[in-house]
Amino acid sequence: MPLLASSEHPSTMDPPFPLLLIVGVGIVLSFLIHMFQRRRAPFPPGPPGIPFIGNLFQLPQEQPWLTYASWAKHYGDIVHLTAFGQHIILLNSESAVLDLLERRSAIYSDRPQLCMSGELVGWSGSVPMITYGDRHREYRKLLNEALASRKLEELHAIEEEKAFEFLQLLTRDSTSFSAHARRLVAAIILDISHGYTVAERDDPRMELAERANREFALSTVSGAYLCDILPFYTFRSGQACSLKKDAKQFKKTVDTLRNEPYDEVKAEIANGRAKPSFTQRLIERNLHPTPEEELTYKWAAVAIYVAGADTTTSALEWFFLAMSLYPKVQEKAHSELMKVVGPTRLPRFSDRTHLPYISALIKEIHRWNPVIPLALPHRLTQDDYYRGYHIPAGSIIWANSWSLLHDPAVYPAPFEFSPERFLSDNEKLNPDPRRYVFGYGRRSCPGQVLAEDMLYIAIVSTLSVFRIEPADASKLDVESTSTILRCDSVSFFPSQVDKVLYSHPKVLECNLIPRSEEALSLLQ
């Protein structure tokens, strides 16, 4: 066995002592140099701030992704800021985002904890806000089980049925298309999460969830509550009456949102009348949960609505805006539908693989105006070193997805709405934007497949029956705008407090014109 003999031979030889010494000294030296460099490693560059206050007054109050992208041009793709000692890192390139949030996700998956919305209002237990750890993993396991693609196919029937209702509402009152789109998303999500059927209008559950979302946004507004800016300014300091009042009111909404729908499903199970749903399955498979387990189930169920409704509705709003601005794209999408589906029936999920232009159109909606342009903030749990820079533990990390999606070297002519870019064979250009718009690493969106299903069915249904036209072309504005929120309580920037998480069209006034009598007859 010559092979064995030759492989045995070297292992029996002792390495010479000087060689061991050189290797040992080399290892110690390189370790010391490494430690020395780490100690001396600077923070990434960024705009100079004021001592103690840092860059607080430079933090943009509207469309921060645009300012961050312009800072990146000046300082590079990793920008460092501070606000009262809090380190903030802005990532503006694909390599930086993926290197840190994905490849080092073990230490970049925490969330910053906000005093107002987290501790006082109670959102700190929710899926998007919870600290990274066992409870988060448990949430993700439950959501993945419920939203895995195989299960979603079972949900297509529900989605097709709700899309049909959506079209019927549009035929009765097409001017409220935005409200109907919101209802469509809520109807699908609440059916899936709690087996709940949304009323045609003024639905109390939808109203509760929307109020919770609104109050969540208000309570997370950067700079709205001093307790989130000044570490020494606490709720207990007794100086913040309006903060206390707001916190009490917002907390009541959150508690109701978490408990009421869950308790209702429990009661329906007891009566033998529960519809199949995510919550019903959780309750039935563990009839005697511990209080901890029950809390986990409640938050997991709430997450589907809270995180899924506004985001998907915003993407649909961008669809309506894009169609009114780009009639040629709309006509191309409609012709594809007519060719594949024909005029005698409505599109279904089974048609999807035969509709490449529609798939490209949906990708372009995500890319053109991502609905969460900066993803959600991640928090670094231990000191890290990257490209010679020191990123301190506790830093808040914002990934500028908008910047990645508008990089002209990757997406040529990035401000043009062009689904065709995704039909080209050039693999180096125009990567799939869904890689970025659904976030990163262990915090990436668990609802991606559901969101894409909802977008698909809403878009193909609308396009088959209606032509979307601008109500007043002069009012159309492609510029995205974040939701402007008013906040009456203790505010650091009283005049310009707004929320900077989601992007919605600023103006959205369209006319939906039925394409033909034949198209309308599909809704009989």
CA distance 202 to 156: 25
Q: Among candidates 119, 136, 117, which has minimal Cα distance to 128?
A: 136
Q: Which CB sits closer to ligand HEM, 411 or 438?
A: 438
CB of 191 to ligand HEM, least distance (A): 13
Applying CB under 6 A, the site for ligand HEM has a residue count of 26
**107 makes contact with ligand HEM (CB under 6 A):** no
Residue 406: its H or E element: none
Please list, residue by residue across 87-118, b when 16 or more beta carbons sit within 10 angstroms of its beta carbon and e when fewer do: bbbbbbbbebbbbbbeebbebbbbbbebbbbb
Token pair of 129, please? 């806000």
Of 238-267, binders to ligand HEM (CB under 6 A) are none
**195 makes contact with ligand HEM (CB under 6 A):** no
Of 121-140, binders to ligand HEM (CB under 6 A) are 127-128, 140
To the nearest 10 degrees (0 to 180), the angle between helices 356-368 and 291-325 is 100
CB of 114 to ligand HEM, least distance (A): 14
**304 makes contact with ligand HEM (CB under 6 A):** yes
CB of 130 to ligand HEM, least distance (A): 7
Residues sharing a CB contact under 8 Å with residue 61, sequence separation 6 or more, in sequence order: 222, 223, 493, 496, 497, 498, 500
Q: Which CB sits closer to ligand HEM, 54 or 377?
A: 377
Q: Which CB sits closer to ligand HEM, 101 or 329?
A: 101
Q: Which CB sits closer to ligand HEM, 167 or 371?
A: 371
Pick one of 83, 451, 457, 463: the residue that binds ligand HEM (CB under 6 A). Answer: 451
Q: Considering only the stretches 28-36, 157-165, 261-269, 299-307, report the one whose residues sit in contact with ligand HEM under the rule CB under 6 A.
A: 299-307
Q: Which CB sits closer to ligand HEM, 167 or 189?
A: 189
Q: Which CB sits closer to ligand HEM, 82 or 312?
A: 312
CB of 66 to ligand HEM, least distance (A): 18
CB of 359 to ligand HEM, least distance (A): 15
Token pair of 509, please? 């006034």
Q: Considering only the stretches 81-89, 158-166, 262-270, 442-450, report the one whose residues sit in contact with ligand HEM under the rule CB under 6 A.
A: 442-450
Q: Which CB sits closer to ligand HEM, 121 or 437?
A: 437
> What own/partner pairs with CB < 8 Å and gap ≥ 24 does 493-499 have?
493/61, 493/223, 496/61, 496/62, 497/61, 497/221, 497/223, 497/224, 498/61, 498/62, 498/221, 499/217, 499/218, 499/220, 499/221
Q: Which CB sits closer to ligand HEM, 346 or 501?
A: 501
CB of 401 to ligand HEM, least distance (A): 7
- Contact indicator for 502, 482 with CB cutoff of 8 Å: yes
Type of residue at 451? A
CA distance 90 to 46: 9
**307 makes contact with ligand HEM (CB under 6 A):** yes
Binding mask 349-388 for ligand HEM (x = CB under 6 A): ----------------------xx--xx------------
**158 makes contact with ligand HEM (CB under 6 A):** no
**64 makes contact with ligand HEM (CB under 6 A):** no
Question: Which letter does DSSP use for residue 45 in this model?
Answer: P
Residue 277: its H or E element: none
- DSSP code string of 285-325: H-SS--HHHHHHHHHHHHHHHHHHHHHHHHHHHHHHHHHHH
Residue 505: its H or E element: strand 503-505
Binding mask 308-327 for ligand HEM (x = CB under 6 A): x--xx--x------------
**438 makes contact with ligand HEM (CB under 6 A):** yes
Pick one of 69, 163, 274, 303: the residue that binds ligand HEM (CB under 6 A). Answer: 303
Q: Which CB sits closer to ligand HEM, 138 or 469?
A: 138
CA distance 365 to 32: 51
**301 makes contact with ligand HEM (CB under 6 A):** no
Alpha helices in 326-355 (DSSP H): 327-340
Pick one of 261, 347, 446, 505: the residue that binds ligand HEM (CB under 6 A). Answer: 446
Distance of CA 274 to the CA centre of its chain: 31
Pick one of 142, 217, 218, 450: the residue that binds ligand HEM (CB under 6 A). Answer: 450
Token pair of 429, please? 């250009």
- Contact indicator for 311, 451 with CB cutoff of 8 Å: yes
Q: Is 96 helix (H, G, I), strand (E, B) or coil?
A: helix
Pick one of 195, 223, 439, 470: the residue that binds ligand HEM (CB under 6 A). Answer: 439
Is 115 annotated to bind a ligand? Reply is: no
Q: Which CB sits closer to ligand HEM, 406 or 467?
A: 406
Give binding residues for heme as ranges: 445
The contact set with ligand HEM (CB under 6 A) reads 127-128, 140, 147, 303-304, 307-308, 311-312, 315, 371-372, 375-376, 437-440, 443-447, 450-451
